[in-house]
């Protein structure tokens, strides 16, 4: 689609010519379409837990249930878990919007990969214990120049996904290695895997392999979209590798590496 605007060129009151501008607006329309779609998906996603909350509270309010009955207790539980879900959705929606709009400044500093990985594993450890999944990490001497909090958030998301989709007794491994000017981090699991045609889709907002994934496993469907946004803001990449069919998944990301010779004086002394 092309937008055409014309304006007359006047000189001493009379028209001497015209300026005609042709503008290709397909890109702008595409941006608008994506925004519209996001707004409609967001309202649907927000309305689902809201409907549960209203239903549960409405039933309690109507007086048809005995307040101390098991059914009433169930309604309170539904209202509570749905409001928690609503809260997580609002947080994640704001997060993905701010990250993409670039309004969140990154606080770049040098961080040892080991410290970032340990922080993420610690956050997931209780969940992993409950799921009977072992967390492993390979030691690394690499140093990154990144926003530490944001990268821990990203790794926490990848590791908690790996745990969520692992069978009891499964192992989740975080490994690191240098690749040129970058460090590659890998989060591998032995879970159900991701079908090849969904490997890219899972990074899109609210996109899931199974429609029930987010609700059943407590996610929002925004984690990987946020992770991608964070990694790309750092100039890195994040992608998934899997053969599907229960053969596990591997999430990989690259981030800017700080060679030993160029580390800040304050950075930890680790040989390269």
Using rule CB under 6 A, residue 82 touches ligand ADP: no
DSSP 8-state code for residue 107: -
Q: Which of 150, 149, 145 has the alpha carbon at shortest distance from 99?
A: 150
Taking the least distance from each CB to ligand ADP, the nearer of 110 and 213 is: 213
Interface with ligand ADP (CB under 6 A), residue from 42, 189, 234, 254: 189
Residue recorded with tokens 């969940």: 127
Contact pick of 52, 137, 161, 254 for ligand ADP (by CB under 6 A)? 161
Is the torsion defined by CA of 204, 205, 207, 208 positive or negative? Answer: positive
In whole angstroms, the minimum distance from the beta carbon of 199 to ligand ADP comes to: 10
Shortest distance, CB of residue 50 to ligand ADP, whole angstroms? 18
Residue from the set 95, 144, 182, 191 that interacts with ligand ADP by CB under 6 A: 191
The residue nearest ligand ADP at its CB is: 219
Of the residues 111, 192, 228, 257, which one makes contact with ligand ADP according to CB under 6 A: 192
In the complex, the smallest distance separating the C-beta of residue 244 from ligand ADP, rounded to whole angstroms, is 9
Q: Which of 107, 106, 150, 115 is nearest to 268 (CA)?
A: 115
DSSP readout, 50-63? Answer: HHHHHHHHHHHHHT
Q: Least separation, in Å, of the C-beta of 134 and ligand ADP?
A: 15
Using CB under 6 A, pick the residue from 113, 128, 162, 174 that binds ligand ADP: 162
User: Residue 120 belongs to what H/E stretch?
Assistant: helix 113-131
Confirm if 121 and 137 have CB atoms less than 8 A apart.
yes
Q: How many Cβ atoms sit within 10 Å of the Cβ of residue 37?
A: 11
Separation CA 87–CA 49 (nearest Å): 10
Pick from 52, 111, 140, 165: which binds ligand ADP (CB under 6 A)? 165
Kind and range of the H or E element at 65? none
Listed in order, strand segments (DSSP E) in 35-93 are none
Which tokens is 163 given?
A: 């745990």
Binding mask 208-247 for ligand ADP (x = CB under 6 A): xxx--xx----xxxxxxx----------------------
Question: What are the CA-CA distances from residue 43 to residues 46, 89, 128 (Å)?
Answer: 5, 11, 32
From the list 3-11, 14-22, 134-142, 186-194, the region that binds ligand ADP by CB under 6 A is 186-194
| Site residues for ligand ADP per CB under 6 A | 157, 161-162, 165, 189, 191-192, 194, 202, 208-210, 213-214, 219-225, 249
């Amino acid at each position: 689609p092309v937008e055409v605007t014309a304006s007359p060129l006047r000189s001493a009151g009379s028209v001497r010519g015209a300026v005609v501008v042709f503008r290709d607006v397909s890109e702008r329309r595409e941006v608008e379409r994506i925004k519209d779609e996001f707004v409609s998906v967001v309202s649907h996603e927000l309305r689902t837990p809201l409907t549960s909350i209203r239903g549960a509270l409405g039933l309690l309010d109507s007086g048809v249930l005995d307040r101390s009955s098991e059914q009433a207790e169930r309604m309170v539980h539904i209202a509570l878990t749905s409001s928690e879900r609503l809260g997580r959705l609002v947080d994640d929606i704001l997060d993905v919007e701010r990250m993409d709009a670039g309004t969140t400044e990154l606080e770049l500093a040098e961080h040892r990969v080991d410290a970032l990985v340990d922080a993420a594993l610690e956050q997931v450890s209780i969940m992993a214990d409950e799921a009977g999944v072992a967390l492993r990490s390979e030691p690394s001497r690499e140093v990154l120049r990144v926003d530490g909090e944001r990268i821990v958030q990203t790794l926490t998301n990848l590791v908690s996904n790996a745990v969520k989709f692992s069978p009891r007794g499964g192992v989740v491994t975080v490994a690191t290695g240098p690749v040129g000017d970058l460090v590659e981090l890998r989060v591998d699991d032995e879970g159900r895997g991701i079908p090849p045609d969904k490997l890219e889709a899972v990074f899109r907002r609210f996109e899931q392999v199974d429609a029930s994934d987010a609700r059943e496993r407590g996610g929002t469907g925004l984690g990987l979209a946020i992770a991608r946004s964070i990694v790309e803001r750092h100039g890195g990449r994040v992608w998934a590798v899997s053969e599907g069919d229960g053969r596990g998944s591997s999430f990989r990301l690259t981030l800017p590496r700080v060679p030993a010779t160029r580390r800040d004086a304050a950075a930890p002394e680790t040989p390269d």
